[in-house]
Amino acid sequence: MNIILGITGSIAAYKAADIANSLTKQGHSVFAVMTDAAQKFITPLTLQTLTKNPVYTDMFAAEKPEEVAHIALAQKADLVLVAPASADFIAKAAAGIADDMLTTVMLPLKRETPVIICPAMNTFMYDNPVTQRNLAVLAGLGYRIVEPREALLACGVTGRGALADIDAILAACAEAADKA
């Protein structure tokens, strides 16, 4: 299965390495797509080493000049997993904004491609009515939302907003793969 692993700007971005490694060990081809903010937390080289695939960071980079990268990547995706998904990404995806490689890959996906969103952010950001509305929009489009955990967050607040346990994320991927 070809899995696009979207990684956004959240302190939980470091957990994407474990997710990528686990999915790769399960036999999936994992293609990481990182936002600029994600690259402040974890490097593309880490994900490239774990997945043995190129990591996509720039929608204008032409690795294969004969193809349009965001279209080709979207069309070969059997599953899209965004973990962690920041409030910024969730808002852009809900509005259909395509201003970086990850949000640009989201628009040309085949309608039957399962999309799993794993929010990770400060509890006040997560509970904000705008974020909740954006998550409801994505759920209405058929995206599966893997709810965050309650924990002591990086900001020092205890609340809901920590990235779901990796086992829960992997289980959501397996369930989506079984339905596909």
pLDDT for residue 61:
76
Q: Does domain 2-179 have CATH number 3.40.47.10?
A: no
Band of residue 62 on the pLDDT scale cut at 50, 70, 90 = low
pLDDT at position 42 over 70: yes
> Which listed residue (109, 155, 168, 177) is catalytic?
155
The closest of 118, 91, 120, 103 to 33, measured between CA atoms, is: 103
pLDDT for residue 67:
78
Greater model confidence, 68 or 36:
36
| Catalytic residue status for 155 | yes
| Contact present, 70 and 43 (Cβ < 8 Å) | no
pLDDT at position 65 over 90: no
Peptide bond into 129 cis (omega under 30): no
pLDDT for residue 68:
79
pTM: 0.96
